[in-house]
Amino acid sequence: MVQFAETQINNLGVFAPVGYVLFGTLSTVGLPIGLGPINIVLQRAFGFWPSVLYFWIYETIGLSINFLLSAKFGEKIIRFFVYQGNTNNSEKDPISKLSYYMLNKSYGSAFAVMLGFGGEILGYLAGLSKLSYLKFLSIILFTNFINAILFVGSNFTIGTNNNLYVAINVLAFIITTLPLLIIFRKEIAGYFSNIISLYKLSAKEDKIFLNQIEDFKYGEISRDDFNIIFIERFDKEVKESIKFLDAILYGVSKTYPDSYFTTELIKENEKRLRNAGISEDVIFDLKVLVRQRILETKIGKV
């Protein structure tokens, strides 16, 4: 069956690679006409190096079109082609925001992100960045060639040589990840430092709060005072949760719904109180106070 398909493709002559490049270009632009598994049959029919060349051509043309379209029409073109007009997706995509930052940082970071992430979205984002088209073209001519070899090599070995297939994918991971780690080594070190600092602060605050629960349990803190302590603790936990995600996801935590923080924190504190032996009526009253606090401050909706 596969051999028959390859024979039919070869019988098409020049029309087969021309059609392949055309459909690949349109797919890169963002139209829903991806070739999927047909890629494997087509590439095996064409041969390794011709397939690398065709892939390199259509990716370069497609990404160039994406760049020029977004440079001309702005963000609305991304919403149309990539998110099908859904503004919620484009506004809540942390990878897109992180990639846009990388494209603007320097030529080296732009090269690293194009090699590491690839995809049509980066062509559109590059058109909105400070990169000129010529610089962008100089990057993708090289990165597309590397990705073409890895992509076609993977398709040629899948199902025929599992060891080589695994080796190619491991090599692809190293080649695409290593430049990102080198370029952003300072930022990565800073992220881990922030995460560790926030974790230490959180552990210290947790210990203080657990002691306050015990003091309330044995009557050393009044119910009114504990209510105040609990609400202040809740406010602080929401802010610390946002900072923690900022440290991990480079400032994109605001893209997450506030209800995620509030719902999880209410459950967590409810569990702490119950484990400490606090009565259910007190827990219920505290949950009511928290919900009132959410409405007053517009922290989020539960």
147-187 pLDDT per residue, tens? 999 989 998 888 788 889 899 999 989 998 888 888 878 77
Nearest to 201 by CA among 248, 252, 254, 237: 237
Do residues 28 and 62 lie in contact, with contact meaning Cβ atoms separated by under 8 Å?
Answer: yes
Q: Tell me which of 256 and 223 has the higher pLDDT.
A: 223
In this structure, are residues 101 and 50 in contact, taking their beta carbons and an 8 Å threshold?
no
DSSP H stretches of helix in the chain:
2-11, 15-29, 38-46, 48-73, 75-81, 87-91, 94-105, 107-116, 120-128, 133-157, 162-183, 185-217, 223-249, 258-275, 280-297
Nearest-angstrom CA–CA distance, 157 and 53:
18
What's the chain's Rg over C-alpha atoms? Answer: 27
Higher per-residue confidence, 78 vs 146 = 146
Q: What percent of the chain has pLDDT over 70?
A: 74
On the question of pLDDT at 286 being above 60, the answer is: yes
Q: How far is CA 113 from CA 5, 67, 283, 291, in A?
A: 36, 15, 48, 42
List the chain domain ranges: 2-183, 186-297
pLDDT at residue 195 tops 60: yes
Assigned token pair, 90: 């484009």
User: Residue 276 phi/psi, 5° resolution?
Assistant: -85, -5
Stronger pLDDT, 65 or 9, i.e. the higher one:
65
Q: Which two tokens stand for residue 270?
A: 């409810």
Ranked by mean pLDDT, the top range of 59-68, 126-135, 153-162 is 59-68
Identify the pLDDT of residue 68: 92
Average confidence (pLDDT) over 280-284: 84
- C-alpha 125/C-alpha 76 separation (Å) is 11
Each residue of 157-177: b (16+ CB within 10 Å) or e?
beeeeeeebeebeeebeeebe
pLDDT score of 3 more than 80: no
- So what's the pLDDT on residue 82? 58
Per-residue pLDDT tens digits for 14-53: 888 898 899 889 888 876 566 667 778 788 888 899 999 9
User: Of 121, 155, 116, which is closest to residue 139 (Cα–Cα)?
Assistant: 116
Which residue reads 């306050």 in tokens?
Answer: 212
pLDDT value of residue 300: 44
**Mean pLDDT value of segment 64-88:** 72
| Residue pointed to by tokens 């940082």 | 105
1 pLDDT higher than 60: no
Q: Which of 92, 116, 93, 90 is nearest to 103 (CA)?
A: 116
Residue 257 neighbours by CB under 8 Å, 6+ apart = 300
CA 112 vs. chain centroid, Å, equals 16
pLDDT of residue 87: 46
Lowest mean pLDDT among 27-31, 123-127, 256-260: 256-260
